[in-house]
């Protein structure tokens, strides 16, 4: 048994292969537990129906239909909430001790986290596509150019991916699946509801409006909304990218440094 010593190599190609290996493992989980995907899609669908048919009539939006205002908010919210699966999956791995096995293997140290977030990104692609379909069913239409519409969806997914790292950092800090999910939603909730996701910010009190105008969820939704309605993206797009870059830098480093010491 001691004859072969596994070759010791290092480098980017191996790191990427480790990430793909871990992503494959997590994707298998998603495919084999379709019920999770189904139930996690029900909540955003309820939000669409609730706001489209219950609250929507009472909400006045400047120019255009409310359904075209609403869906970009729903897309971003769905992608954001999808990040919670990163927290749950990661803390379950920690709890079951399988992370110890991975850390004792000669694989890239970043692969557990990167593989997890990439699998969750793939999961988000499915969920967001489903929401697009639901949106089209309730009357939402893309009005931007083809490139702008695809770009908008790309921005939604990138934003969701960014928050996967926030959830990963939270999971590594609290170490328990249920707590991780609850703790992860703490910052997400005010960001989603004190934003331009469902209602125009003009009716909010000044202090709240000032917050809502600059926070990452609002600027990203505004950018996505501008792209899919064919309006000029103004300052929203670059502000969204600045937020994404800042959040990634901060939370990727927190998550990786915490991962090294778990």
Partner 1 sequence: MYAKDAIGERCAIGTTDEITVEGIGKRFGSTIALDDVHLTVPRGTVFGLLGPNGAGKTTLVRILTTLLRPDHGRAVVAGYDVVHDAAQLRSVIGLAGQYAAVDETLTGRENLKLVARLYHLPRREWGPRAEAVLERFSLTDAADRPVRTYSGGMRRRLDLGASLVGRPRVLILDEPTTGLDPRTRMELWVYVEDLVRDGVTVLLTTQYLEEAERLAARMAVLDQGKVIAEGTANELKDRLGGAVLEVAVADPKDLERARELLVGVGSGAPSIDPARNTVSVAAHQDAQVVLDAAARLLQGEVPLQDIALRRPSLDDVFLALTGNRTAVEPAAAQGPKRWGRRSS
Binding site for partner 1 (CB under 8 A): 1-10, 14, 17-18, 21-22, 24-25, 28-29, 32-33, 96-98, 100-107, 111
User: Which is closer to partner 1, CB of 10 or CB of 206?
Assistant: 10
User: Which is closer to partner 1, CB of 32 or CB of 205?
Assistant: 32
Closest by CA position to 233, among listed 156, 153, 152? 152
Residues 6+ away with beta carbon under 8 Å from 187: 166
Q: How far is the CB of 40 from partner 1 (least distance, A)?
A: 17
User: Which is closer to partner 1, CB of 115 or CB of 216?
Assistant: 115
Task: Provide the b/e sequence for 153-169 (b: ≥16 CB within 10 Å).
Answer: bebbbbbbbbbbbbbbb
Q: How far is the CB of 5 from partner 1 (least distance, A)?
A: 6
Q: How far is the CB of 98 from partner 1 (least distance, A)?
A: 4
Radius of gyration of the chain measured on its C-alpha atoms: 20
- The runs of H, that is alpha helices, within the chain are 12-32, 34-49, 66-82, 84-96, 98-103, 111-137, 146-174, 177-193, 206-214, 216-229, 236-261
Q: How far is the CB of 111 from partner 1 (least distance, A)?
A: 8
Q: How far is the CB of 32 from partner 1 (least distance, A)?
A: 5
User: Which is closer to partner 1, CB of 60 or CB of 101?
Assistant: 101
DSSP character for 52? I
User: Which is closer to partner 1, CB of 68 or CB of 93?
Assistant: 93
- The runs of H, that is alpha helices, within 83-110 are 84-96, 98-103
User: Which is closer to partner 1, CB of 105 or CB of 133?
Assistant: 105
* Vertex 181: Cα angle to 51 and 41 (nearest 5): 40
Q: How far is the CB of 62 from partner 1 (least distance, A)?
A: 48
């Amino acid at each position: 048994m001691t004859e072969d010593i596994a070759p010791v190599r290092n480098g980017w190609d191996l790191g990427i292969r480790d990430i793909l290996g871990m992503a494959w493992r997590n994707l298998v989980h998603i495919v084999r537990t379709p019920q999770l995907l189904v139930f996690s899609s029900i909540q955003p669908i309820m939000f669409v129906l609730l706001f489209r048919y219950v609250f929507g009539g009472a909400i006045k939006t400047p120019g255009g239909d409310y359904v075209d205002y609403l869906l970009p908010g729903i897309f971003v919210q769905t992608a954001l909430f999808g990040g919670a699966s990163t927290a749950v999956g990661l803390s379950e791995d920690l709890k079951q001790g399988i992370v110890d096995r991975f850390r004792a293997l000669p694989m890239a140290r970043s692969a557990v986290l990167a593989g997890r977030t990439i699998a969750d990104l793939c999961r988000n692609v499915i969920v967001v596509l489903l929401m697009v379909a639901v949106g089209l069913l309730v009357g939402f239409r893309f009005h931007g150019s083809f490139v702008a519409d695809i770009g908008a969806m790309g921005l939604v997914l990138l934003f969701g991916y960014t928050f996967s790292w926030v959830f990963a950092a939270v999971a590594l800090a609290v170490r328990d699946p249920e707590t991780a999910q609850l703790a992860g939603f703490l910052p997400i909730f005010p960001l989603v509801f004190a934003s331009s996701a469902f209602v125009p910010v003009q009716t909010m009190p000044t202090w709240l409006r000032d917050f809502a105008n600059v926070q990452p969820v609002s600027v990203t939704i505004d950018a996505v909304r501008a792209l899919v309605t064919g309006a000029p993206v103004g300052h929203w797009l670059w502000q969204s990218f600045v937020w994404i870059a800042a959040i990634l830098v901060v939370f990727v480093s927190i998550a990786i440094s915490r991962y090294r010491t778990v």
